[in-house]
Amino acid sequence: MRFMKEKEVKGFVKNRYGKIARSGASCCSSSESLTEQARLVGYSEEDVKNVPEESNMGLGCGNPVALASLKAGETVLDLGSGGGIDVFLASEKVGAKGRVIGVDMTKEMIEKSKHTAEKYGYSNVEFRLGEIEDLPVEDKSVDVVISNCVINLSPDKKKVFQEAYRVLRSKGRILISDLVTEGRLPSTVRKSLDAWAACIAGAMDKKEYLRTIEEAGFKKVKIVSESSYELDVSEKLTGRITSVKVQAYKL
């Protein structure tokens, strides 16, 4: 990495999200309730009501399940599943014959989401501890890969998309909600571990982000939705932070 070691970033992010899992609080300072935060990034009131309350931790920047067109019987993989909100939403979409796998590198998040699944009787979901750059998932074993404001946290985004491509079956697809930049971030922001954990410092330029997905082998890469995203940062940004929803296919 340009400014700091990958291991340092991952260790800091893992520690931060472990604390969030233990406390149940969002990483982002906001006066809004978690339900209101969810609504603002794309979840409907029905979505929020249909998942366990403890799975909504206010950590996303979109609602990938709403745009993924999930079908009954499909196998879905959620990269960086956190408290499990998107896993549980996808669970209802794919039904009893489908399967949803959540992968997260934070032990506390996996323990939390496993407990939630057991508590509410979700039988078609599972949660695995692992890094999204090295997925604990078999080759060509899933139909859809989703992710919600997590890939920006990875220091090696190309590897993440290569792994997503590896685990997808032929004609599989991805629907990713993430943060990207349009313009440059100050070097002080890029160097900040707090800014990394807050989904800012690791955000990639939008054009480069789309190009990285294409370089991993995906086709028909396109942004299906985007909007500006309000962030509380101490230093003025010279560019823009944008929330994008990106779709692509493995043909």
pLDDT of residue 97 exceeding 50: yes
Mean pLDDT confidence for 150-155: 90
Could you tell me if residue 1 is inside a domain? no
If one counts the domains in the chain, the total is 1
pLDDT at 102: 98
Instruction: Give the mean pLDDT of 177-194.
Output: 75
| Tens of pLDDT, residues 29-80 | 343 588 888 888 899 999 999 999 999 988 888 999 999 999 999 999 999 9
**Inside any domain, residue 176:** yes
Question: How confident is the model over 173-192, as a mean pLDDT?
Answer: 81
What is the spatial distance between Cα 22 and Cα 146, in angstroms, rounded to a whole number? 24
82, part of any domain: yes
pLDDT at 122: 98
Would you say residue 217 lies in a domain?
yes
Q: Which residue from 61, 151, 63, 145 is spatially nearest to 105, judged by alpha carbons?
A: 151
Give a yes or no: residue 10 inside a domain.
yes
User: Quick one: DSSP state of residue 73?
Assistant: T
66 phi-psi bin (left φ>0, alpha ψ -120 to 50, beta other): alpha
In this prediction, residue 15 carries a pLDDT of 79
Q: How many C-beta atoms surround the C-beta of residue 47 within 10 A?
A: 20
pLDDT score at 90: 98
**Which CATH number fits the domain that encloses residue 205?**
3.40.50.150
Highest mean pLDDT, choosing among 5-19, 126-140, 229-243: 126-140
- Amino acid, res. 71: K
pLDDT the model gives residue 58: 84
Evaluate whether residue 99 is within a structural domain: yes
Q: Average pLDDT over the chain, rounded to whole?
A: 87
Distance between start and end Cα atoms, the chain: 31
What SS3 state is found at 40?
helix
Q: Tell me, what's the pLDDT at 2? A: 47
Helices and strands in the chain: count of H runs, count of E runs:
10, 8
Q: Residue 120: which domain range?
A: 6-249
